Structure formats: C-alpha cells, structure tokens
Amino acid sequence: MTLRPESSSELLIDGKLVPGSGGTFDIINPATEEVIGQAADGTAADMDAAIAAARTAFDTTTWSRDPAFRAKCLRQLRDALQGHVDELREITIAEVGAPHFLTSGPQLEGPIADLGYFADLAENYQWSSDLGRAKPMGIKNDRVVQREAAGVVGAITPWNFPHQINFAKIGPALAAGCTVVLKPAPDTPWCAALVGKVIAEETDVPAGVINIVTSSDHSVGALLSTDPRVDIVSFTGSTATGKKVMIAAAESLKRVFLELGGKSAFIVLDDADLASACSMAGFSVVTHAGQGCAITTRLLVPREKYSEAIAHVRDSMAGLPAGDPTDSGTICGPVISAVQRDRVESYIQLARDEGGTIEVGGGRPANKDKGYFIEPTLISGVENSARVAQEEIFGPVLVIIPHDGDDDAIRIANDSPYGLSGAVWGTDPDRIKKVVDGVRTGTMSINGGIWYSADIPFGGYKQSGIGREMGVAGFEEYLETKAIATPA
C-alpha cells in the first residue's frame, strides 16, 4: 500500500474498493497550500450503497454474534496498520498538518494500538448476567440480562485528530458487533481511505461490516442521520452541527452520540508553582495549533498574580512559534484551511474590538508566505463574558482571566455553555479536590496529569455532548440490553 502525491484514493463499500461516483476532489497540504493528491468523491448514491451493505452485513451474517472473530479482525487491523505506520505518518502530517511529534501519540500510533484494547474487550466482556430466580405474581422465573450489538452505526468524524476519532468509533463499534459506515471530514479523507484499503486487502473483516465513504459534500454524511436503516449516529464536531444531527436523527428515533465543542478552563490556584502552570497552559494551547476540542483555552489565574502570569505565558508562547509540521521540534503547525485561518483571525480582531490586549502573536508569522499559519496568541484584558472567552475558536489562542479565589475560579469555569475538559494546578489536595468536584466537565487534569487512554471514557457535560467515547462506557454506547425470562 503506497499513496503518494498525485495519487487518488477509493471508497470502501461492501468489501470492495471503488471509485467515487462524483469523481475526485483535491487534497490540500495546509502547511504548503499545495495539492498533494485526490480523494474519491462519494455521492448520495454511494452512501446509499454503503448503508445497504452495512444493514445486510448486520442482519444476515454472524458478525454480531461472534466476539472471538471480531477480536481477531481488530487485531489484524491493528497489526496491519502498524506495518504501514511510516506511510500513514507521512500522509497524516501532509494532510492534517499535524506536528510530527504528535504522530507518535494521539495523532497515529496511540489510536492504532488502542484497537487492541477493544479486541480484548470483545473477548472478555460479560455479555450476559444471571439475575437469578424471582417470583413475579407468584410464578417462578429464571432471569438473564443479555447485551448485544445495537445495529448499524453511522460515524461522522472531523479533521483535527482523524485517526484518534475514527478509531475511537470504529474500534468499539466493531468490538460490540455493530456494522459501520464512516464518513470522514472532506479536509482529511486520505487518513480514512488508507484504513479502508488496509481493511479490504489485509484483514478478514467481512464485506459490508465496515464501509468508508469520503466526499467533498457534507450533505452526504448528513444522510446517516436521516436514513432509517442506521440505528446509531456517532458524531464528533461542532456543537452547532451536533444540534442539527440530533434534530435529524429524531425523526427515526435513532440513538445519537455527540462529542462536541469545548472552552475548557485551566485553573491556577494561589499555592501553585505559577511559572510551571503558565508554561504548561501555553504549551497546551499551541499544540497542533490549538485544534483540539479538549484543549484548555481559558487560563484562570489569581488576580494578585495576573501580571506575573501574563509574563510567564507570553514567554512560553513566544518560544513555541508556528512552524513546519515535518520538523520534529515543531509544536504548533498550521491550521487546517484558509477558511479556518480566517475564522481564527476574526476572533483575534474581535478581541481587540472588545477591548482586549494581544500580549503575543495576533497575526500570521512574518517568515511564512505559504501555509495556513497563525502565531500563538495570548489575549488579556477581557472578562469571561467576552465572546473570545465564551466561544470555541479552534486555533492557538489563549484567553487569560483573573479570579478571586477558588470559589470564583469554579464559578468562572462553569460560566460556559461547554463542559468538556479542564485542568487545575495547586498543592493543597483538599482545595484541588474541591475544584475537581466543582467544575462540571467530563475530564480534569491535576498538575499536568494525562487522562487520554483507551480505557478512559471521554465526553462532556452541557453542550459539549451526549454520551462517552472510549473505555467500557464508550463500548457500551454501541450495545442494546435484552431481558430474558424462563419459567423455572
């Protein structure tokens, strides 16, 4: 398997690699603005065929009832992908603009390895539970609760961490016994198409069990929300689009999993090592140009240390300039597209209009005449009510806000429509616990703790989503519960 510049990919439908009915569309390298190849452009007809194949595979094969075989196929996929990791790394850096260092972790190698976790889960999960004997209405019955696959899954994924998010849906869904139709983002189709090629050519996954439809048309993915043959829609993306998915899915009462936006708070307590905390906050927000829904983009610091904190963060972010993602030392690469760069720049201008101060950054790097680069930017002098503190920007932009003690920090953190992630730095365990318990969010990091792992459930409160991905909780999103009674 090799995909090089000027190559084109194919769709995976019913076990076959096929061209898109709509021809092809260009793939742009966000660091160079060059066309690096073409992706198959799927249409509504292609999506219809993919859904039909997934429905047939679920209804007519033994896939949903054979966890040992499913585990075998997942391990085959993991091992085959690991054999192509260098090619996948090259494509991921070129297509996503992902910094090279991240491909050793959550941009590539980590998600591939995580497939093994879901294979183990398929084999070891307790698929049935004996509830023992009871006498409802005086009649003795033996009762069992059985867990089984929910059906056909429509997975719609974004461009920022394509492998991690694709496999966080594919892995547990296949392990649970579901069949899948994956619609990846138009910005990063190759990452998914290459996986489809590996599945078709190097695994025993039966035809129709997984189908991958790349397309330049967002409405093709929207068909997964409305088609009655699809039982679950698993969507990761913006909160605005997630609401549309939920509305569309309501017509057929299909289950939805939504992993949406975030505006997570990084809380620094007054007993913390301020320099270390601020350095970490600056590093976090510039990683992958801030294109992560769980990145902490509001830094809350003690009011009496506000000026000092600004200086620390300014120094940290200034030392992490936007650069070439192929360079192993780059932390902040480009944003994904010209459209996204314009969006980030509009928020930086909005901060100025709202009376904020740009402490560092605020524009395009002077040494970059090509590529969708934005300088790491620190904004001070705005309240938490400012739009730049309330809305998800999805760029290397950090807003620093003063707080007046632990309770005030919790209040500010919760003063957001989102609740996806968060962080707290301090030394007093009781105070840290109070913050962790008080902030309404799906994940929390304490003093730099890393919560990302295959066995950790990920998701958010409020408008950050519904349900959990990864871990046992994420696996069970793809299961139904059946109660069975037998006269004793």
- Show which residues are catalytic: 259
User: Is the backbone of residue 6 left (phi > 0), alpha (psi -120 to 50) or beta?
Assistant: left
Contact 378, 281 (CB under 8 A): no
Neighbours of 448 (CB within 10 A): 12
Q: State phi, psi for 382 to the nearest 5 degrees.
A: -120, 155
Angle between helices 109-124 and 162-176 (to 10 degrees): 10
How far from the centroid of its chain's Cα atoms is residue 474's Cα?
13
Side-chain half-sphere of 311: how many Cα atoms within 13 Å? 6
For every residue of the chain, which 3-state class applies, written as one string?
CCCCCCEECCEEECCEEECCCCCEEEEECCCCCCEEEEEECCCHHHHHHHHHHHHHHHHHCCHHHCHHHHHHHHHHHHHHHHHCHHHHHHHHHHHHCCCHHHHHCCCCHHHHHHHHHHHHHHHHCCCEEEEEEECHHHCCEEEEEEEEECCEEEEECCCCCHHHHHHHHHHHHHHHCCEEEEECCCCCHHHHHHHHHHHHHHCCCCCCCEEECCCCCHHHHHHHHHCCCCCEEEEECCHHHHHHHHHHHHCCCCEEEEECCCCEEEEECCCCCHHHHHHHHHHHHHHHHHCCCCCEEEEEEEHHHHHHHHHHHHHHHHCCCECCCCCCCCCECCCCCHHHHHHHHHHHHHHHHCCCEEEECCCCCCCCCCCCCCCCEEEECCCCCCHHHHCCCCCCEEEEEEECCHHHHHHHHHCCCEECCEEEECCCHHHHHHHHHHCCCCCCEECCCCCCCCCCCECCEECCEECCECHHHHHHCCEEEEEEEEEC
